Amino acid sequence: MFLSFFDAFGQKISTSPTRLNYKVSPGGSSTGLITVTNNAERRQTFTVDFGDFDASRAGKSKFLSKGEMARSCADWLSATPALFELDPGESQQIRVVMDVPQDSTALMARWAVAYIRLSEERQGQQETGDGLIVNLNQAYRFGVYVFQTPPNAVYAKGELIDFKQDEDQLILRLRNVGETFLKCNSYAEFTNLQTGEISRLKPRNFTVLPASNRDVTFLIPKDYPPGKYSVLGVLDYGNRDEVAAAEIEIEIKEKSKE
């Protein structure tokens, strides 16, 4: 089970899980559950609504309003309860229902985000550059990712676009060219061309949205001996019969003793 936790100005809540995965056929419906816990020392009021998100090449999420993404499923979601209060230490289970329409829009993978908001805004002040004091309303929200994959969307494929060195980093560029979300495991394997010694960097696990690009960055370890290396960049996206890989040669230079 995953847990997301946020603490802002003493207002504490936790939500679990961090993502909901649906596999609903056109015209069908399914329910997911989110548990919200009030970890603050006072009673708090929460609201639930839905929006969109996108991901950058670096994997950073960008949160958007409902309907901004072409692949949004935010309009298919509803929450019960959508408004509730919790005493300190109290928890609430939210039923998130996915109602998929019976039309062609339901035939492709889609995604959204469920926002759990502290409905009470916090007042604050900020001094501007010209010495003015302005009042700010600060509202806090916590996101749970929502993924909808129709049963017909089964084609999964990742494609490597490039593998290159940029100073002390190796960058593996890839694209999801399949119909579904790619749950990826990626790693870099070093072979010392002088000694034949093989070592592997810690794998990176991540999800790539359909028709999206992703850059995976590996840091070249500082303790590797100087010399020439063959480096294999590997993308494993769950297909037992196929992985994507690219190979480059790099040189690790002698470190300056100054």
What is the mean pLDDT of the segment spanning 59-74?
Answer: 93
Looking at per-residue confidence, does 74 or 242 come out higher? 74
Gyration radius from the chain CA atoms = 23
> What average pLDDT does the structure give for the chain?
88
pLDDT of residue 11: 52
The DSSP call for residue 40 is S
pLDDT of residue 7: 44
Q: How many residues does the chain have?
A: 258
Dist CA 26 CA 95 (whole Å): 20
Q: Is the pLDDT of residue 125 over 80?
A: no
What is the mean pLDDT of the segment spanning 58-80?
Answer: 94
Closest CA to 174 of 121, 227, 218, 233: 233
pLDDT of residue 248: 97
Q: Which CATH class is domain 4-148?
A: mainly beta
Give the strands of the sheet with 213-219, arranged side by side: 158-166, 169-176, 213-219
Q: Is residue 245 within 8 Å of 235, Cβ to Cβ? A: yes
Apex 245 CA angle, 244 and 248, nearest 5: 160
Q: Is the pLDDT of residue 67 over 70?
A: yes
Q: Give whole-number Cα distances, 56 to 61, 146, 217, 241, in Å.
A: 6, 17, 13, 29
What is the mean pLDDT of the segment spanning 234-243?
Answer: 87
E runs forming strands in the chain: 4-8, 11-16, 19-22, 29-38, 44-55, 61-64, 77-80, 83-86, 91-99, 110-127, 133-148, 158-166, 169-176, 182-192, 198-200, 204-208, 213-219, 227-236, 244-252
Q: Is the pLDDT of residue 224 over 50?
A: yes
142-161 tens-digit pLDDT: 889 999 999 999 999 999 99
What is the mean pLDDT of the segment spanning 118-146?
Answer: 57
Q: Where are the domains of the chain?
A: 4-148, 158-252
pLDDT of residue 74: 97
pLDDT of residue 78: 98
Domains 4-148 and 158-252 share a fold: yes
- CATH homologous superfamily for 158-252? Intracellular proteinase inhibitor BsuPI (2.60.40.2360)
